[in-house]
């Protein structure tokens, strides 16, 4: 039986050249003062494909990687045996043995988790490494600021465990600069109060929006770019304001399955929410839907690009298909390629644009792309 082409229906293109460009820009901007880049590759590298992104980033000089789950860490360790791999979300004490076995660095919020890591490490005759998170306002994890000195001392006293870093996370750096600065002020006060106790720790705070907007003093020894790595703007205008011309790494493409004229009054898709205007029009059915992770909330309000022009979505996005109006775009044929995210000629649709249209975060747009979409490496 012949293989089915991955480009026969819908697919995501991952631009290795854009990724290398972004890493080079980030290194020039942030690493000149000795700051390291942690490439955040959680959630399958924000939907881009961790198995593609992580080795490319490593070849581009990245040595530090951030994941969210233990399973992600195990998979990444198989790809990159010598990388520093950080678990940047909460884990359970029951995960301690596998964390230690795969040399993952946990981000701790409690002494309980530290004890579990220490016990697992001693059983293996090794020393586990961990960072402590300080909660400066994110409210979902981390030790309360007043508990940090005591907790650091208690963790350091555990045989088998070495605390090598201290971190915090910004809650609104993409929305409210004053709030982010106030939050960092609390972290800075904590560091000052720790004095020499913090001298041996790897300090890190900046996510993508904080790296763009906050002064260099916040960067310390490590920053944690996620969106920046993938060339996705955290909020409109942030790249231009920071003079950082990053390039999108992912494009989403789909084939035209059918193109035909429809008479005025004909209805399109479930619920018959769209009616062809008087005089009729020409409509194209694309092989893309919410089963691929394309947002159903864009029904009747989004666009794709065909032949370098915008074609509006008509009616509801289905699980496997959607329909666009190509009345004003000549020569559209079945087999043509439509661009749902990315550039076609001078026209472009970004993940940030789609996010703004449905009042969500850009992270959601690419992270929700499903495994049904092949990720094809280009460049």
Secondary structure (DSSP) of 99-138: HHHTTEEEEES-HHHHHHHHHHHHHHT--EEEEEEEESS-
Cβ atoms < 10 Å from Cβ of 217: 8
Element containing residue 180 per DSSP (H, E): helix 177-194
Catalytic residue among 46, 230, 253, 270: 270
d(CA 373, CA 230): 18
Q: Name the β-bridge partners of 242.
A: none
Under DSSP, the state recorded for 226 is S
Which tokens sit at 330? 């000549």
Catalytic residue among 30, 42, 184, 253: 42
d(CA 89, CA 312): 39
Please indicate whether residue 270 is annotated as part of the active site: yes
Non-local CB neighbours of 247 within 8 Å, separated by 6+ positions: 15, 18, 21, 22, 231
d(CA 364, CA 354): 10
Which tokens sit at 223? 């920053």
Taking a C-beta distance cutoff of 8 angstroms, is the pair 246, 210 a contact? no
Please indicate whether residue 42 is annotated as part of the active site: yes
Non-local CB neighbours of 255 within 8 Å, separated by 6+ positions: 7, 8, 9, 10, 286, 287, 334, 335, 336, 337, 338
d(CA 22, CA 15): 11
Among all residues, which ones are annotated catalytic?
42, 270
């Amino acid at each position: 039986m012949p293989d089915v082409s991955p480009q026969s229906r819908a697919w995501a293109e991952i631009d290795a050249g854009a990724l290398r460009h972004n890493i080079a820009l980030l290194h020039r901007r942030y690493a000149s003062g000795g700051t390291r880049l942690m490439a955040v590759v959680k959630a399958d590298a924000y939907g881009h494909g961790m198995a593609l992104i992580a080795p490319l980033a490593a070849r581009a000089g990245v040595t530090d990687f951030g994941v969210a789950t233990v399973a992600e860490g195990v998979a990444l360790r198989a790809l990159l045996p010598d990388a520093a791999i950080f678990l940047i979300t909460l884990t359970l004490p029951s995960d301690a043995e596998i964390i230690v076995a795969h040399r993952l660095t946990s981000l701790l919020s409690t002494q309980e988790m530290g004890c579990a890591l220490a016990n697992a490490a001693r059983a293996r005759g090794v020393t586990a490494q961990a960072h402590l998170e300080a909660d400066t306002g994110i409210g979902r994890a981390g030790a309360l600021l007043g508990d940090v000195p005591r907790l650091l001392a208690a963790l350091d006293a555990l045989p088998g465990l070495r605390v090598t870093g201290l971190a915090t996370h910004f809650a609104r750096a993409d929305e409210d600069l004053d709030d982010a600065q106030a939050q960092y002020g609390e972290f800075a006060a904590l560091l000052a109060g720790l004095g020499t106790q913090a001298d041996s720790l790897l300090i890190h705070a900046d996510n993508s929006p904080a790296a763009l907007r906050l002064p260099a003093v916040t960067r310390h020894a490590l920053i944690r770019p996620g969106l920046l790595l993938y060339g996705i703007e955290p909020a409109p205008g942030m790249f231009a304001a920071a003079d950082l011309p990053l390039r999108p790494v992912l494009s989403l493409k789909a084939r035209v399955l059918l193109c035909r004229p429809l008479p005025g009054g004909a209805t399109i898709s479930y619920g018959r929410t769209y009616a062809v205007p008087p005089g009729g029009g020409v409509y194209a059915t694309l092989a893309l839907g919410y089963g691929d992770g394309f947002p159903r909330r864009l029904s009747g309000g989004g666009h794709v690009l065909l032949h370098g022009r915008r074609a509006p979505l008509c009616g509801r996005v289905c699980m496997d298909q959607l329909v666009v109006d190509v009345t004003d775009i000549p020569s559209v044929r079945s087999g043509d390629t439509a661009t749902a995210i990315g550039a076609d000629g001078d026209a472009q649709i970004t993940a940030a644009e789609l996010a703004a249209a449905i009042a969500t975060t850009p992270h959601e747009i690419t992270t929700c792309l499903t495994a049904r979409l092949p990720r094809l490496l280009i460049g």
